[in-house]
């Protein structure tokens, strides 16, 4: 999965930069420009607008495409799987989290709804494991149905058929 710094929203097969980064064919910025760019926050409002304009099944399809490469490779919860759009710390400690403006919370809500639609539609499988030290650890894997829908490119259609009314 790509790092937060280069998170992308997928429009069909063409990746579109989500967080105001230069295009691959643009010349590299000088050191002063990179310091200014590093200080900029991700554009949560633009991402929120993009995902809000989609139906829940379409959102779920974009989310599954974005997270499919990391499903099953680690025991990541929803928050960590959605971190390309809504960054969280990997330590789980609130003090290590990046800033969370209002747009982050609103985007997170929209993405959580899409992720839960993937669960309801059986595109992902939730697995829980009890441990002595950490309580219950939750992770997700791509289901056989999810894999088949990704290969066919019809995740949104499958989710729409399977969601309850």
Residue 140 has pLDDT above 80, yes or no: yes
Helix (H, G, I), strand (E, B), or coil: what is residue 30?
Answer: coil
User: pLDDT (tens digit, 9 = 90+) per residue, 75-89?
Assistant: 788 888 998 898 877
**Euclidean distance between the first and the last CA atom of the chain, given in angstroms as a whole number:** 33
Looking at residues 128-141, what average pLDDT do you find?
79
Concatenated DSSP letters of 96-147: GSPP--HHHHHHHHHHHHHHHHHHHTTSEEEEEEEETTTEEEEEEEE-HHHH
Nearest Cα residue to 162 out of 149, 62, 14: 149
pLDDT of residue 83: 87
């Amino acid at each position: 999965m790509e790092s937060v710094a280069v998170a992308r929203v997928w429009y069909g097969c063409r990746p579109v930069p989500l967080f105001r980064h230069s295009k691959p064919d643009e010349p590299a910025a000088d050191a002063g420009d990179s310091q200014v760019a590093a200080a900029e926050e991700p554009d949560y409002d633009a991402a929120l607008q993009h995902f809000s304009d989609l139906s829940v099944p379409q959102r779920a399809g974009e989310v599954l495409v974005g997270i499919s490469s990391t499903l099953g490779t680690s025991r990541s919860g929803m928050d960590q799987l959605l971190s390309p759009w809504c960054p969280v710390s990997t330590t789980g400690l609130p003090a290590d989290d990046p800033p969370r403006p209002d747009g982050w919370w609103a985007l997170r809500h929209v993405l959580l709804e899409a992720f839960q639609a993937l669960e309801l539609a059986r595109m992902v499988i939730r697995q829980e494991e009890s441990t002595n030290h950490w309580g219950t650890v939750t992770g997700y894997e791509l289901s056989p149905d999810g894999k088949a829908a990704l290969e066919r490119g019809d995740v949104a259609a499958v989710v729409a058929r399977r969601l309850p009314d």
